[in-house]
Chain A
Amino acid sequence: MSISSEILLDVTALQKRYADGTLAVQEITLNVLEREFVSIVGPSGCGKTTLLKTICALLTPTKGSVKLHGTLITEPPPQMVLVFQDYARSLFPWLTCTGNVMFPLRRRKDISQADKVSAAQRAIEAVGLTKFAKHFPWQLSGGMQQRVAIARAIAFRPDILLLDEPFASVDALTRADLEDLTLALRDEFGITMLLVTHDIDEAVYLSDRVFVLSTPPSTVLEEIPIPLSQPRDQVGTRSEPAFIQLRNHIHGLIGKKKDDGMKAFILEQPVTSTLELERDPVS
């Protein structure tokens, strides 16, 4: 595993304003190098999901551009796959694990049937679900379901994986497992990773670089290189003095900005119901 100096993904002055006038993403500029692990970390509701969806062209930006391998993106490109937080909604419950992993491959004409089957098998093996290949997603635990979603993504052989809070809905131990799995997959398949999370420790632990976002309308507060030793280790890495320093630094950044932001938010927005807050459209 070595990070190249080639820029794979280039996001320039990206802005997303919703049709209702809500400015979710004010101006984001960032880039991801080939085989790099980059995290975007920010407070809840800072428009991270909107940012990822705009990067992979599920949403159209109001300003700015996204380039993959130097080519402007206007439609979701096959070299880029997004993994959602809510695996239960993104997986197809009528298909088995294998069926789900095969689903996007099935329609591809550039790969032979035998190669599709072996690609699916390899992806399922890589996420450790070979024994459960014939199970349906709903027969598996949350962490295992997210593994299926990840296997489906890597079997498609994208150059970059966009991960939208992929470990937010699983317990702490499973979370650590999935984090290490993601790192291992990056090495095994040479896939670049762009992770969005609100968990600062997770971002520092996994990444080569971290972009810290502000509250909405979001901008990049700081770009932080993470010079921690490789390979990462759940116990060792997290107890390195550099790790603690970095996470405290980011906590300081977000904590301070978040307090200011929340005050402004509360003053501006009359709160009608808690339900609406939970269903915040920009989160």
Chain B
Amino acid sequence: MSKIFNRGNAAGIITVIVLLGLWQIVASIKQTVYVPPVSTIFLTFLHEWISPTFKQQAIPSLYRMAVGYFFATLVGITIGIVIGSFKRIYQLLDPLLQFWRAIPATAIIPVGILLIGIGDQMKMVVICFGAMWPILINSADGARLVPTERLDTARIFGLKPIETLLRVILPSATPMIAAGMRTGLSIAFIMIVVSEMIGSTDGLGYYILQAQRTFAIPEMYGGILLLAILGYLLNTGFVQVERRVLAWHYGQSARTT
């Protein structure tokens, strides 16, 4: 953790402090309800989130996201690796996939509501759907781009197709899969907020929209701040795990570039 506060980051932290200070000064002078001073937002934030509200609003969001993202990863990697490993299947499906991925994930929320209703399931399904595409496409590319020599090596040593898939193609594709999972994570985060804004009775998306509608402006900003913190922590955590699991990949890239 000490690495977060190294010298390179010091300048960045100063930037944040200066901007927040400016906000504080301008908001205090202007006295507008729409943009409360940072201090008000911060106090509201502490008051709101170090309380049962966190369990009522943040936990459901995180839970839905975890389930949706888990299945997005599972389905995305499995289908992606299979598509990428077999040239015929890839050629058959690639145009369809390219078209499908072009649909903004949020656009399918109405479809989800229509088919499943506005419950937890719908949110998990749309999160899964949105986050799955980058994972699937990257897994397929990762599998497709395994060097021929590596596949030939597997055949030379008599590996069965399923062994080649699990022991050669899958590990070869992990750097690209991880990149897809990172994109998928940020999409999952967008999907949870939007799906909760459209049809929900709890969750962070619901909370922020509700705060805005009831004119609880500091609460609204507090909710956004919490999202920012959660998003930052998720991404940082992901990168830490990725660096560890793919140490070989980063070591190799550092050598060759």
A residues with CB within 8 A of B: 53, 56, 58, 76, 78, 80-82, 84, 86, 89-90, 92-94, 103-104, 107, 136, 138-139, 156
**B150, A89: Cβ atoms closer than 8 Å:** yes
A residues in contact with B256, CB < 8 Å: 138
Choose from A78, A80, A90, A138 the contact partner of B252 (Cβ within 8 Å): A138
With A78-B158, A107-B159, A107-B163: A84-B252 Cβ-Cβ less than 8 Å? no
Cα distance A58–B168 in the bound complex, in angstroms: 17
A residues in contact with B167, CB < 8 Å: 103
With A136-B248, A136-B251: A82-B152 Cβ-Cβ less than 8 Å? yes
Q: From residue B172, how far is it (CB to closest CB) to chain A in Å? A: 8
**B156, A58: Cβ atoms closer than 8 Å:** yes
A residues in contact with B251, CB < 8 Å: 136, 138-139
Cα distance A136–B254 in the bound complex, in angstroms: 13
**B171, A89: Cβ atoms closer than 8 Å:** no
**B152, A58: Cβ atoms closer than 8 Å:** yes
Q: Does B12 contact A (CB under 8 A)?
A: no
With A92-B168, A93-B249, A136-B251: A84-B159 Cβ-Cβ less than 8 Å? no
Cα distance A81–B158 in the bound complex, in angstroms: 10
With A86-B149, A89-B147, A107-B163: A94-B155 Cβ-Cβ less than 8 Å? no
**B158, A76: Cβ atoms closer than 8 Å:** yes
Q: For A76, A93, A156, which residue has the most chain B Cβ atoms within 10 angstroms?
A: A93
Q: Does B157 contact A (CB under 8 A)?
A: yes
Q: Does B213 contact A (CB under 8 A)?
A: no
* New A-B pairs, 20, CB < 8 Å, besides A86-B149, A93-B252, A104-B157: A53-B152, A78-B158, A81-B156, A81-B157, A84-B149, A84-B153, A86-B147, A89-B147, A89-B150, A90-B152, A92-B150, A92-B168, A93-B249, A94-B174, A103-B167, A104-B158, A136-B248, A136-B251, A136-B252, A139-B251
With A82-B152, A89-B149, A90-B150: A156-B157 Cβ-Cβ less than 8 Å? yes
Name the 3 nearest CB pairs between A and B, nearest first.
A104-B157, A89-B147, A89-B149
Choose from A56, A89, A107, A136 the contact partner of B156 (Cβ within 8 Å): A56
B residues with CB within 8 A of A: 147-150, 152-153, 155-159, 163, 167-168, 171-172, 174, 248-249, 251-252, 255-256
Q: From residue A107, how far is it (CB to closest CB) to chain B in Å? A: 7
A-B contact pairs, 28 of them (CB 8 A): A56-B156, A58-B156, A76-B158, A78-B158, A82-B152, A82-B153, A84-B153, A86-B147, A86-B149, A89-B148, A90-B147, A90-B149, A90-B150, A90-B153, A92-B150, A92-B168, A92-B172, A93-B248, A93-B252, A94-B171, A104-B157, A107-B158, A107-B163, A138-B248, A138-B251, A138-B255, A138-B256, A156-B157
B residues in contact with A138, CB < 8 Å: 248, 251-252, 255-256
Q: From residue A282, how far is it (CB to closest CB) to chain B in Å? A: 14
B residues in contact with A82, CB < 8 Å: 152-153, 156
A residues in contact with B159, CB < 8 Å: 107
Residue of A nearest to B248 (CB): A94
Cα distance A76–B157 in the bound complex, in angstroms: 8
Q: From residue A199, how far is it (CB to closest CB) to chain B in Å? A: 20
**A139, B255: Cβ atoms closer than 8 Å:** yes
A residues in contact with B168, CB < 8 Å: 92
Q: For B150, B172, B251, which residue has the most chain A Cβ atoms within 10 angstroms?
A: B150
Q: For A56, A58, A94, A156, which residue has the most chain B Cβ atoms within 10 angstroms?
A: A94
Residue of B nearest to A149 (CB): B153
Residue of B nearest to A78 (CB): B158
Q: From residue B88, how far is it (CB to closest CB) to chain A in Å? A: 14
**B153, A76: Cβ atoms closer than 8 Å:** no
Cα distance A92–B152 in the bound complex, in angstroms: 12
**A84, B157: Cβ atoms closer than 8 Å:** no
**A76, B248: Cβ atoms closer than 8 Å:** no
B residues in contact with A78, CB < 8 Å: 157-158
Cα distance A254–B182 in the bound complex, in angstroms: 54
Residue of B nearest to A80 (CB): B156
Q: From residue A5, how far is it (CB to closest CB) to chain B in Å? A: 28
Residue of B nearest to A100 (CB): B153
Cα distance A243–B207 in the bound complex, in angstroms: 86
Q: From residue B213, how far is it (CB to closest CB) to chain A in Å? A: 51
**B156, A76: Cβ atoms closer than 8 Å:** yes
Residue of B nearest to A156 (CB): B157
**A103, B152: Cβ atoms closer than 8 Å:** no
**B171, A76: Cβ atoms closer than 8 Å:** no
Q: From residue A62, how far is it (CB to closest CB) to chain B in Å? A: 19
**A76, B155: Cβ atoms closer than 8 Å:** yes
B residues in contact with A84, CB < 8 Å: 149, 152-153
B residues in contact with A81, CB < 8 Å: 156-157
Q: From residue A181, how far is it (CB to closest CB) to chain B in Å? A: 20
Cα distance A84–B153 in the bound complex, in angstroms: 9
Cα distance A89–B150 in the bound complex, in angstroms: 6
Cα distance A58–B149 in the bound complex, in angstroms: 11
Q: For B150, B157, B172, B248, which residue has the most chain A Cβ atoms within 10 angstroms?
A: B157
